[in-house]
Homo-oligomer: A and B are copies of this chain.
Amino acid sequence: MKFDPATLTYNDAGLIPAIAQDAKSGEVLMMAWMNAESIQQTLETRQVTYWSRSRQEFWVKGATSGHTQALVDFKIDCDRDCILVEVNQEGPACHTGRRSCFYTAIESGEEVEILKPMI
């Protein structure tokens, strides 16, 4: 069946959550948002492109920082309301310079920093 981004379920702002996972290590890198157009752009360019809620514009991941996400696999979930992109991540995925945005673990009720910046 041909894929049509319009068949996905978006929130009131026209957005859908997209999880980025490192295609090699399996590490979950980040979660951000896409709209129908950024999905189309991601599939066409093979460069992961989100919608920036703060800037209200397309966000080609790494366009400024060089920390790009080359698309390896694009998956949707059973409810068609979440996306999983498997990527080749260039450098850190997180704006803090860490490999993943999920660098804080909760252990015995305490916040613990589990990843240091790469750069």
Whether A17 contacts B3 by the Cβ 8 Å rule is no
Q: Which residue of B lies closest to A83 (CB)?
A: B102
Is A57's CB within 8 Å of the partner chain B?
no
User: In which size bucket is the chain A interface?
Assistant: 35 or more
Is A103's CB within 8 Å of the partner chain B?
yes
Selected A-B contacts with CB under 8 Å, 26 pairs: A1-B110, A2-B109, A2-B110, A3-B106, A3-B111, A17-B31, A19-B19, A19-B28, A21-B28, A26-B26, A30-B77, A73-B105, A75-B102, A75-B103, A75-B104, A75-B105, A75-B114, A76-B104, A76-B106, A77-B101, A77-B102, A77-B104, A78-B95, A78-B101, A78-B103, A82-B102
Interface set of A (CB-CB < 8 Å, partner B): 1-3, 17, 19, 21, 25-28, 30-31, 43, 73-79, 82, 84, 94-96, 98, 101-106, 109-111, 114
